[in-house]
Chains A and B, each alone.
Chain A
Amino acid sequence: MNTLRLVQRILLTLLFVLALAPDLQAQKRIGVIMTGDVPYYGAMHDAFVAELNRRIAGEEKIEIILQRPFPDPIAWSNAARKLIAFDVDLIVTYGSPATLAVIHEKTRIPLVYAGLYEPDQAEMSGENVTGCGFKVPLSSIVRYFKRLKTVNTLGIVCSSIEEDSMRQYATMKEIAEQHNMKAEKIDIRGRADLDGLKTKKTDAVFITGSSLAHLWLADIMEILRREKIPTADIFPDFAEAGVLMTLFPPPQQQGQLAAEMAAQILLGKKPVNIMAYTFRDTELVFNLVEARHFGIIFPIELLIEATKVIE
């Protein structure tokens, strides 16, 4: 009888342990912070997972713990703390605010970032930090706008709680002023701020890589389309929400490089020995359906510049 109870206890304990640790076979755990449901970061993450599986399939068992915090400083901080508490082997972040939240925690866990705007300007250095980002010449967007219509006032949708978005705002403001345009800041910190789009009189709008703005892109586009204000975006408009033109770095290559860096770190290489990388390739997409809505005619010599035209 006692032996039976002992066996029962052992079995119960085993079951309990298995329930607590869902994947005991997982040898490495990667924590990922992907802000909100931004499709751009989603495409980057898909490429990351695919490339990581390709690189270490059969060699290591990997568990990925994905955090999708709402774009908010507290949420980013909580997501970072959770992953540190999980004691993951590596943290991967998409975008500047999530990356800064992890760095702020001063953890020893290696960090690989991706989807960062001009990382060399973002002070993302540290012994345990490496990653890749992108650079997009924002001046090109202004030039294309100028070739399509007269722009006296350029609205810039940004979010003052997002570091990269604000750097893009500052750069775009400077470029617009160089081109004799007035820059109008449209700061999105909450849904109520979307009303600013209705009151500010602009001839065209540029949307920075703000997670908040992209979370509510459909709402933003609804307002701007109603006001007949053409838009340009630094992220792709995967859902074709109505952005007239997008100039963006392809997300796949950043996801793939982040996976390559992650694989190297998991196999023992130190982040400090992995050189950070800035992608400069861009894709230019014109949406002719939206152009018709805005009464804009793309000259043929402009159309041929596009890597993709939506008709």
Chain B
Amino acid sequence: MILRPRSGHGFLLRLVICLLICLAAPAARPVAAPAQPEELLIGIEPEHNIFDQMERYRYLAGYLSQQLGVQVKLTIMSRYGEVIKRFRSLKLDGAFLTSYTATMGIDELKLEPVVNPVNLNGESSSQGYIFVRKDSGIRNVNDMRGKSIVFVDPATMEGYLFPLAYLQQHGVTDMNGFFNRFYFSGSHVSAIFAVLDGRADIGAAKNTVFNRLVGNDPSIGQELAIIAQSPKAPEITLCIRQEIDPDLRARLAAVLLQMDKTAEGRKVLQQFNAIRFVKSSRADFGGIEAMEEQARAAIAEHVK
């Protein structure tokens, strides 16, 4: 057997072909498009009764899983104020957020607002109320000096941001000195009951919760007086991470926006206590940003 030396020309040609094949292989994969996840993990801000709340959202998650072909899982975020932290630590893909936390999420996490549910009264927005007992003698901000006030949570527009902005607007710059006492009740219902019972003189809470309680027990409306109302803002918004596949995001929005068109969708909506979903956009949160700006000094002073 005679070993002949390889032709240098042919070897080089084969090497170039091999290199081209190797380079061509990764280029065939879509580099920019994110992979569609196998599941979507959606966070929920806790309400007064998280058991009822989970039940309502469970039907919606099941419907979305079926329609999207992607497992939609839910998780309750421990409390309002931890939304941003939890969003990161739980590696959430999205969350149903109240207006102030949605604004924070859009700002800090670059979340995309997708849809808002429209409640059974035909409203997709809510507003903050500042209220007192009618027999308290408190009619305006001047009468509030030296009294006690109950907020809901520092991450709520209706239960914190709005009252701070309102008080700031009416010349109350030193919250700690102006009120005898303030505290956070943790829920809108608790803030309302605290004022009803006399555990606080002034309260702030969401109008939808306030109106629901009054609807169930008209005597509550007879005993409380609303002193101020905030502008309206989206009550709950589904916000999604920008990194989620745009196609999936679009399909998610489409499924939610079309829900009221099918019998099955309407049934799920009913269990969710909504009549339909409507499209949401960043512009919906302009009012909250303005309110935040107005209350900035008060927030800084308050947390001292």
Contact = CB atoms under 8 A, between A and B. Distances in A.
Interface string A106-147: 000000000000000000000000000001110110010000
Contacts of A307: 199
Interface string B181-214: 0000011011001101111010000000000000
A136 B198 contact: yes
Nearest to B199: A282
A178 B223 CA distance: 13
Interface residues of B, number: 20
Contacts of B48: 301
Given A139-B219, A304-B190, A282 B135 contact: no
Given A139-B219, A178-B219, A280-B201, A301 B189 contact: yes
Contacts of A219: none
Interface in B101-139: 133, 135-136
A38 B58 CA distance: 53
A94 to B, nearest CB: 20
Interface string B212-223: 000001010001
A282 B219 CA distance: 19
Interface of A: 135-137, 139-140, 143, 175, 178-179, 247, 249, 280-284, 300-301, 304-305, 307
B186 A304 contact: yes
A114 B220 CA distance: 29
A280 B198 contact: yes
B49 A301 contact: yes
A178 B222 CA distance: 11
Most chain A beta-carbon neighbours within 10 Å: one of B186, B197, B217, B223: B197
Contacts of B194: 305
Most buried by A among B189, B199, B201: B199
B186 A284 contact: no
A143 B198 CA distance: 14
Contacts of A305: 190, 193-194, 197
A285 to B, nearest CB: 12
A309 to B, nearest CB: 14
Contacts of B176: none
11 contacts: A137-B196, A139-B223, A140-B196, A175-B219, A179-B219, A247-B198, A281-B148, A282-B198, A282-B199, A283-B199, A305-B197
A179 B193 CA distance: 17
Nearest to B213: A143
A281 B148 CA distance: 9
A139 B189 CA distance: 16
Given A247-B197, A283-B199, A305-B197, A137 B217 contact: no
Contacts of B201: 280
Interface string B152-196: 000000000000000000000000000000000011011001101
B143 to A, nearest CB: 13
A119 to B, nearest CB: 13
A283 B194 CA distance: 10
B199 A135 contact: no
B198 A281 contact: yes
A157 to B, nearest CB: 21
A135 B199 CA distance: 11
A244 B135 CA distance: 27
